[in-house]
Chains A and B, each alone.
Chain A
Amino acid sequence: MTYDETTLAQLTEDAAAIIARYPVKRSALLPMLHLVQSVDGFVSPDGIQFCAEQLDLTAAEVSAVATFYTQYKRRPNGEYQVGVCTNTLCAVMGGDRIWDELSEHVGVGHDETTEDGKITLERLECNAACDYAPVMMVNWEFFDNQTPESAKQVVDDLLAGKDVAPSRGPAKVACFKDVSRVLAGFEDGRADEDQGAGAATLAGLEVAKSQGWTEASK
């Protein structure tokens, strides 16, 4: 491993905190792979070795797990993972067109990263926001009801180094490494940030209110 002393000490301390959450050590592997991505920006050979040593596994066992899950990246990932949902519903509502235009605009295809290392594009599978189709995700924050123009604007802002805000979620999208640290189970103090619950989330509630329907009236 080529981690310097400080990095290795921090990684080891974090790994101990993750392992302590589970009755059986090996359960810590998925969050630890997120942790490795928070340091290296991808699942690096060093990171695999580190996980193996911490969990008494072989590097082959760790690799076998890492390659199964799409969120673990085997090459240095862009600072921002930009995914356009092209599963059926989003695709039909316009996701296909958004993908085509965005991919052409950015100049990279699926699972490819821009030369400056800013953006990795991805064709996403369903991200559980179908009532906001077509959906785009940036570092796993929701960008709802997209158009080719809105998607390109987000990417242009990212390329220009500007902050971008999701439709639902925190005040701004954090970088890939910071988000990976949250996914390792470490709070970043941003849970109270909010962009509103979203019209579709509240749609039924609004109808019930306007009709005077409450659960208690049953």
Chain B
Amino acid sequence: MTELVPVLSATWGAEKSWSLDTYTEAGGYAPLKKALGMAPGDIIQAVKDSGLRGRGGAGFPTGMKWGFLPPDDGLPRYLVVNADESEPGTCKDIPTMMSAPHQLIEGVAITSFAIGCNHAFIYLRGEVVHVYRRLLQAVREAYEAGHLGTNIHGSGFDLDVTVHAGAGAYICGEETALLDSLEGRRGQPRLKPPFPAVAGLYARPTVVNNVESVASVPAIVDKGVEWFTAMGTERSKGMGLFSLSGHVTRPGQYEAPLGITLRELLEMTGGIREGHELKFWTPGGSSTPIFTQDHLDTPLDYESVGAAGSMLGTRALQLFDETTCVVRAVTRWTEFYKHESCGKCTPCREGTYWLTQILKRIEAGRGTEADIQQLLDTCDSIAGRSFCALGDGATSSIISSVKLFREEYEAHVTAGGCPFDHAASALFAYSDTPATEEAHA
């Protein structure tokens, strides 16, 4: 039985868990002092050796990303933390920053020292105002305690941290769109190369890391590489937050070694809601192909999930039971991608528009058999044909659900409507009345 390993989440239940005092009492900022006594190159090497991979979805090795920065030319280089958590199903960074913002601030300080950055930015989505309050306060407390500012703890290292609130745009979670947004522009992805490591914020060398990646750094510095590599699997090391939501008895954040299975997690969460069974789920947010009961024992690490045809993504496990209409679920996700497509690339902008038209037609019982093939063809015209991965993500749930539940799409066509009682899926009781078309327009 795999055990949970509360590292990032360890102090979340403490009194005033977000305060500097609570964090310091639990040993916080000792890793920063230790790091300031190390050679920056040794910190980068330790993070490389730890095998820490980006926790924001792509899983790129964090230390390697740091190592891509060109040699110091005496001009600025930047750390930008991606705190724009918006992928449907993903809800791990928000509680981390709400309950323990100093974990992130300390990670920012150590990472900045390691890569030679003197001004770091945290780009937080704008729709979480209390999280912003906590981050602003934590940064102020850290300055007052000498963990940020000039000549930090006598090391000669200077660091300023700016916490920046976005304004509502999923696309800004894409790292180059985030950089454009942070520069005061529309959040649209850039063509790569050049990668941010070479020309990022203000065209200077920049590391963009996810909140959870950066927040994991203090523990690695503190407890060592071997401690970290003892957790996880061969190529997916360490712990991560698994966020379970939906038709599960006790939804929430479960911090576990990578490689744990959904079956194991479900034992801890009290299983699927009483009297029901699992139908489909996303392993890593709405941009990852869906899984079914057949994947209960798939180890949730980058390689195993990939080999099973999906992606570990952000470990956002959205669980749906047998009452849920897969066509309804996929249609709604697709409307999301249509809404959030930045409009820069034609295949994504137009493709998500047409996908939504077709799906809504099918869901409402006005589709044809040919529409199902048309969906797949349209997905072919989108995937891999745009600057960023938003369009690709839009096709994931469609392609995988047609493959796994084609008969359900056909049932909508032949029945002339949705065969499911939507009220049965809700977590509260109500009697289903026909949904008005306008309400979903």
Does A130 contact B268, Cβ atoms closer than 8 Å? Answer: no
Q: B127 — which chain A residues lie within 8 A by C-beta? A: 71, 127, 137, 140
B366 is an interface residue with CB less than 8 A from chain A: no
Does A131 have its Cβ within 8 Å of any Cβ on chain B? yes
- Known contacts: A137-B127, A182-B132, A197-B12. The answer to whether A97 contacts B423 by CB under 8 A is yes
Report the separation of the CA atoms of residues A165 and B32 in the bound assembly, to the nearest whole angstrom: 37
Please state if B167 and A70 are interface contacts (CB–CB under 8 Å): yes
Which among A68, A71, A92, A200 is the interface contact of B320 at CB below 8 angstroms?
A92
B271 to chain A, nearest CB (A): 13
Interface size bucket, A side?
35 or more
User: For window 150-200 of chain A, which residues contact chain B by CB distance below 8 Å?
Assistant: 166, 168-170, 179, 182-185, 187-188, 190-192, 194, 197-200
Least CB distance from A105 to B in Å reads: 13
B254 touches A204 (CB 8 A): yes
Which residues of A lie under 8 Å from residue B239 when comparing CB positions?
215
A42: interface (CB < 8 Å):
no
Q: Is A88 an interface residue (CB 8 A)?
A: yes
Instruction: For B286, list chain A residues within 8 Å (CB).
Output: 87-88
B126: contacting residue among A34, A96, A100, A147, CB under 8 A:
A34
Is there contact, CB below 8 Å, between A191 and B137? yes
**CB–CB A26/B165 < 8 A:** no
Known: A187-B137, A191-B133, A205-B10. A34 touches B167 (CB 8 A): yes
Q: Which of A86, A103, A184 has the most C-beta atoms of chain B within 10 angstroms of its own C-beta?
A: A86
Q: Is the CB of A203 within 8 A of B252?
A: yes
- B184 CB-CB contact with A under 8 Å: yes
Give the complex CA separation of A198 and B230 in angstroms.
31
Docked complex: B296-324 residues within 8 A CB-CB of A: 316, 318, 320, 324
Known: A34-B167, A93-B425, A203-B251. A130 touches B129 (CB 8 A): no
B13 close to A197 (CB less than 8 A): yes
- Cα distance, A126 to B170, chains bound together (Å): 9
Interface presence of B386 (CB below 8 A):
no
The verdict on B102 contacting chain A, using a C-beta distance below 8 Å, is: no
User: Is B162's CB under 8 angstroms from A22's CB?
Assistant: yes
Q: Is the pair B76, A23 in contact by a Cβ cutoff of 8 Å?
A: yes
Shortest B79–chain A CB gap in Å is 13
**Which of B85, B129, B227 touches A128 (beta carbons < 8 Å)?**
B85
- Asked if A169 and B88 make an inter-chain contact with CB atoms under 8 angstroms apart, the answer reads no
Given contacts A21-B162, A130-B91, 16 further A-B contacts (CB under 8 A): A34-B167, A69-B167, A87-B333, A91-B332, A92-B320, A125-B340, A132-B251, A182-B129, A187-B140, A190-B133, A192-B137, A194-B16, A197-B17, A200-B250, A204-B268, A205-B13
12 contacts between A and B (CB under 8 A): A30-B167, A31-B165, A65-B186, A88-B318, A97-B426, A100-B439, A130-B243, A191-B136, A202-B12, A202-B252, A204-B252, A214-B10
